[in-house]
Amino acid sequence: MRTKNAKAHTRAESAHLAKVKRCACVLCDADPPSHAHHPIQGEHFTTVAVCDPCHVGPFGIHGDGTMLRLRYGTADLRAQLRAINETQRRVAALEAE
């Protein structure tokens, strides 16, 4: 959900976010649609494709981070970067279709 003070997305940002949401969850591989988690608010090209439970559930990114630790061995910046990288790989695969 966007905040009321958020700037409007550019056309490129909107297109990228739509592709991220078409990817499977990078933490549990749940089928799309996914949420586009923003590790850094407002940075739309570094989002992570995650399902609802892995995003906002008690073990998700905004919970205690268990799903991030289970997938990447840690819940720190390295794990977030790996999740971003995997999301980018999946977006590229969609573009290649």
pLDDT digit string (tens) for 12-62?
A: 999 999 999 999 999 999 999 999 999 998 899 999 999 999 999 999 999
CB 47 within 8 A of CB 37: yes
pLDDT at 4 over 80: no
Say what the pLDDT of residue 1 is.
Answer: 55
Two tokens at 1? 């959900």
Cis peptide before 39 (omega within 30 of 0): no
**8 has pLDDT over 70:** yes
How confident is residue 97, by pLDDT bands cut at 50, 70 and 90? confident
Entry pTM: 0.90
